[in-house]
Structure 1
Amino acid sequence: MNSYVLITLLSTLLTSFLCSAACASVQVRGHLMCNGQPYAREQVQLWEPKTLGDELWDDMPTGRNGRFEIFSHGNDVTLFNIPFFGFGFHPYLWIPNYCGTELDNGKRCTKNILKIAIPEGYINPCQPQVYAFNIGTINMETEEGSHFNWVLRWLGLNQQCRTY
């Protein structure tokens, strides 16, 4: 057996040993309010952090009553399946917060971003029936949110803005 075939065979076996592909399902529900009124028809997004930019799993608007229930799943491939090094799934809910903001020059911009990490116990193997994470009722007016990360702020992206 020549050395090229042996190296190819060994690297294939080693790669299959080290690589891991997995799938996870997440379901999140909640009720969003803004100054005593439903936070209606506003976007709720489910994201999964990746090394080179996060991956959008799903997005949806809240209902007329401010309620939402979002379900999605995603795949991940890691070179080393070592849980204590942070590999695996760490999805989060991302909700742009326009509550209490005012229209300025035809644009309305977020005052902050509500970012909620999904607890590990609610990250399920891919399947249609999963444990739902209920965030309860949140008043977006008083909720202390996150802001964009330092890279986006450095690029001048410290808010999300939209026109009406």
Structure 2
Amino acid sequence: MKASLIVLVLGVLVAGAFAFRQQSVGIRGRLLCGDKPLANTQVKLWNKNKLGSDDQLSAVKTDAQGNYELSGGVGGILGMNVHFKVYHDCDDGVKPCQRKVDLKVPDQYVTRTSEVQKWFEAGTMNMEFGFPDEERSCIN
């Protein structure tokens, strides 16, 4: 009886450890504004949680050529719902704040590991394009 209880407790602990194991994701690409690199542009990777507040996984600014690379992760039972956000002024005129584009990263790029196993290659995106559900953001 005592041995069965110990095995049960160990089983629960191991199952709990696996349930909360680390998840990771990575994305890289290049941003343009027309035919020019979109340099020094804020890009972020977010995990949109079903319950509670969202988690910012990573944030960087694009380099002089418009290139970026972001990676991050969290531990948890539920799979991540990863979004790539771009805050920019391309083709914006003199409007206040910045254009905010929110793009969902495909789920197959989230892995149950602590290091990125499969990078999402976003390619080159021209931010002159008007994206559906685009918003404006003054705080980013």
Q: TM-score range by the shorter chain?
A: 0.7 to 0.9
State the identity %.
Answer: 23
**Cα shift at 1:20:** 3.3
- Asked whether the equivalents of residues 101 and 109 of structure 1 are also in contact (C-alpha less than 8 Å), the reply is no
Match of 1:21 in 2: 20
Deviation of 1:96 (Å)? 1.7
Q: Which structure: larger Rg?
A: 1
Deviation at 1:141, TM superposition (A): 0.6
Question: Where in structure 2 are the equivalents of 1:107-126 lying within 5 Å?
Answer: 108-111=96-99, 113-126=100-113
Aligned to 2:45: 46
> In the alignment, what sits opposite 1:82?
none
Aligned to 2:7: none
Q: How large is the Cα RMSD of the aligned pairs?
A: 2.3
Structure 1 residue 129: deviation in Å?
Answer: 4.7
- Residues 1:61 and 2:38 aligned together: no
Please give the alpha-carbon distance, in whole angstroms, between the structure 2 residues aligned to 1:66 and 1:134: 14
Report which structure shows greater RCO (CA 8 Å, sep ≥6): 2
Report whether the alignment pairs 1:74 with 2:63. Answer: no
Residue 161 of structure 1: aligned partner: 138
Query: What is the CA distance between 1:29 and its match in structure 2?
Result: 0.5
TM-score normalised over the length of structure 1:
0.66
CA distance in 2 between counterparts of 1:100 and 1:129 reads 33
1:90 to partner: Cα distance: 1.3
Structure 2: state its 5+ residue gaps: 1-11
Q: Structure 1: which 5+ runs fail to align?
A: 1-12, 79-86, 149-158
Q: Which aligned segments of 4 or more residues in structure 1 are displaced greater than 6 angstroms?
A: none
How has the CA–CA distance of structure 1 residues 142 and 64 changed in structure 2, closer, same or farther, with 3 Å as cutoff?
Answer: same
Corresponding residue of 1:6: none
Match of 1:125, SS state, is coil
Give CA-to-partner distance per residue, 1:34-69, whole Å, 9 cap, x none.
Answer: 021111010110000122221101100011000111
Structure-2 residue corresponding to 1:5: none
Change (3 A) 1:130 1:143: farther
Amino acid at match of 1:55: D
